[in-house]
Each structure stands twice: as C-alpha cells, then as structure tokens.
C-alpha cells in the first residue's frame, strides 16, 4: 500500500476518481444490505409459515379424530334406535294378542249382560248373574294388560325416535367435522407450499447477496489498484509517509458506537464517520482509532513505543531510529 501524508490522503479522497468509486461502492453496499435484509425477512416468513402449517395440520388431525368420534356416536345411537324399534314391534305383536283376548272377553261380557237383561228363563238369568262378576273382573285384568302393553309400545317407539334423532345429528356433525378437517388439511398444504416458495425466494436472495458481495470485493480490488490502498472489509489503509509505525485507516461505513465500541477513538467510544482519516498502529489496529489531525501529534501507545525504540534504536539504516532518537520522536502528521 502507498505511503501518504494526511494532506495527500484528503486530496485523494476528494478526487473525482475516488468519489466515483465511492458512489459505486455505496450502491453495491446498499444493494447487499437490502438483499440480506430481504433474505432474513423471507426466511422469517418461511419459518412462520411452516409453524402455522404445522399448527393447522394438528388442528386438522384433531378435527378428523373428532369426526371419527362423532361417527362412532352416530352408529351407536343408530343401533340403539333400531333395537328399540325391534322391541316396539315385538310389543305390538304382544299387544295384538292381548287385544284379541280382551275383545273376546268383552264379547262374552256383553253377551252375559244381554242374557241377564233379556232372558226370562230363571236358569239362564242365574247363570248370567254368576258369570257376570267373573267376566267383568277377568276383562278388567286383560284390558289393563292391553293398555299397559300399548303404553310400552309408545314408550319404546319414543325412545327409538329420540335415539334416531340424536344419531342423525351426530352423523351430520361428523360430516361437518370432516369437511372442516379437509379444509384444514388443504390449508396446511397451501401453507407448506408457501413456505417452500418463500425458502426458494430466500435462496435466490442469498445468491443475489453473494453476487453483491462479489461486486464489493471487485470494487475493493479496484480501490487497491487505483488508489494504492490495502482494502479491508470496513476500512481502507495507507501507510503514514512520515512514521512507518502508523497507518491511516479510512472507514467505509458510519459507526455510531465507534469501530469497536468503548475501545474506539482512543477509548472514548465516539462516532466513526465514513471517509474520515484515522490513525492506527500495528499493536491494536482499528481497536484504537485516533483522529488524524493536521499538525497534531500521533498518540501511540507509550509502552509499545519504548519497546520499539529499544529494539530499533541502535540499528543503523532505519530512518528516525539512530541511537534511539531523531525524527522518530516527532509524530506530527503534516
């Protein structure tokens, strides 16, 4: 990388060639950020859609199970209704037999009463008088049986009718549940397809982000060729012409928290501005950024300086370090 003075670096940053490169870099960086944000949003939507699909799938399975339960209830009630219907038919047959017996007794009772009223024969009247109370009692018993049998028939028919109504209701409910389950299964499948579509879009966005990253890399390579800098991911670097232990670092992006948070800007944690020159040393690099001010001394780490001077001060041929003194003590940045 080139060695520049601060004035030369500022002039370079204002040249038309660099400003054009900076505009291209800003567009490529904004495109990369936009595509990355879109990819993250698409992945989040896909995950949410998959979760919703799973929830709808579970709801469909629960509904399908409820439909099976309703079908079982309808079938059970239908069986009970048929059993009651069969029992009612049996009771109807018994009722008919009992009705015939009661009718027969009714005819005999009516004949005895007519014989008693119309016959002048004493013997006939006496016989009728003896039979009449017995027939009346027997008829009352048989007629009571007939009445009770008919009551049982009506009650059994009623129970059969009630169970039939409930059976049909459960059957209709089962059909509604199955329709809902089918709708939910369809919705779950649609959500799964939408999730797959979103993942496909996210993969396309990832490819776009990779392409944008390649364009950024090409722009950084172009900066190295055209401006003689060392390109990093967030900074461009140039040697300091007057102090080989220092370099200029030019941020490519604004950073409200400083380059490394509390360690940035000499530990103040101040804001780092894009295209503003800063001074960095080899020991901490951008972990300790110092504003490059015209005519201000560069504040290097004193311990590191003494160590370097100890190693390099007695070695001839190194500018600024003969005998541990010389221009190396002056770190002004003209």
- pLDDT for 109 equals 81
For residue 216, give the nearest of 79, 69, 21 by alpha carbon.
21
Is residue 334 within 8 Å of residue 294, measured between CB atoms? yes
Encode pLDDT of 95-138 as tens digits: 999 999 899 888 888 877 777 766 656 666 667 677 778 888 88
For residue 276, give the nearest of 46, 88, 22 by alpha carbon.
22
Q: Domains along the chain?
A: 39-219 (1.10.287), 232-329 (no CATH)
- pLDDT for 119 equals 62
Encode pLDDT of 55-83 as tens digits: 999 999 999 899 999 999 999 999 999 99
Angle at 136 between CA 133 and CA 139, to 5 degrees: 150
Query: How far does CA 51 lie from the centroid of its chain?
Result: 4
Question: Residue 272: in which H helix or E strand, if any?
Answer: none
Q: Helices (H) and strands (E) in the chain — how many of each?
A: 5, 6
One digit per residue, pLDDT tens: the chain, 334 residues?
899 999 999 999 999 999 999 999 999 999 999 999 999 999 999 999 999 999 999 999 999 899 999 999 999 999 999 999 999 999 999 999 999 989 988 888 887 777 776 665 666 666 767 777 888 888 899 989 999 999 999 999 999 999 999 999 999 999 999 999 999 999 999 999 999 999 999 999 999 999 999 999 999 999 999 999 999 989 999 999 988 889 999 999 888 765 444 444 444 357 889 999 999 988 888 888 888 886 554 444 444 454 445 444 544 444 444 433 333 333 333 3
Is residue 294 within 8 Å of residue 6, measured between CB atoms? yes
């Amino acid at each position: 990388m080139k060695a520049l003075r601060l004035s030369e670096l500022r002039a370079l940053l204002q040249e038309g060639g660099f400003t054009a490169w900076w505009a291209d870099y800003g567009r490529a960086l904004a495109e990369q950020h936009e595509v990355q944000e879109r990819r993250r949003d698409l992945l989040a939507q896909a995950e949410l859609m998959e979760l919703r699909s799973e929830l709808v799938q579970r709801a469909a399975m629960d509904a399908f199970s409820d439909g099976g339960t309703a079908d079982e209830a309808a079938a059970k009630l239908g069986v009970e209704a048929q059993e009651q219907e069969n029992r009612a038919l049996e009771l109807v047959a018994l009722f008919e037999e009992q009705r015939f017996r009661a009718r027969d007794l009714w005819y005999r009772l009516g004949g005895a009463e007519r014989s008693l009223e119309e016959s002048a024969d004493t013997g006939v009247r006496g016989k009728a008088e003896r039979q009449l109370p017995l027939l009346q009692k027997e008829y009352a018993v048989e007629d009571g049986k007939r009445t009770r049998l008919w009551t049982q028939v009506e009650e059994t028919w009623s129970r059969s009718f009630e169970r039939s109504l409930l059976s049909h209701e459960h059957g209709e409910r089962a059909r509604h549940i199955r329709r809902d389950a089918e709708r939910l299964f369809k919705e779950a499948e649609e959500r799964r397809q939408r999730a797959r579509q979103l993942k496909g879009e996210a993969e396309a966005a990832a490819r776009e982000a990779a392409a944008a990253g390649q364009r950024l890399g090409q722009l950084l390579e172009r900066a190295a060729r055209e401006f003689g800098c060392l390109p990093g991911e967030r900074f461009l670097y140039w040697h300091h012409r007057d102090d080989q232990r220092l370099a200029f670092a030019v941020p490519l992006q604004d950073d409200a928290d400083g380059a490394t948070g509390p360690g940035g800007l000499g530990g103040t944690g101040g804001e780092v501005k894009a295209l503003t020159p800063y001074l960095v040393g080899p020991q901490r690099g951008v972990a300790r950024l110092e504003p490059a001010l015209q005519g201000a001394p560069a504040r290097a780490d004193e311990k590191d300086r003494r160590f370097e001077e100890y190693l390099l001060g007695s070695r001839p041929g190194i500018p600024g370090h003969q005998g541990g003194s010389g221009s190396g003590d002056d770190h002004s940045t003209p």
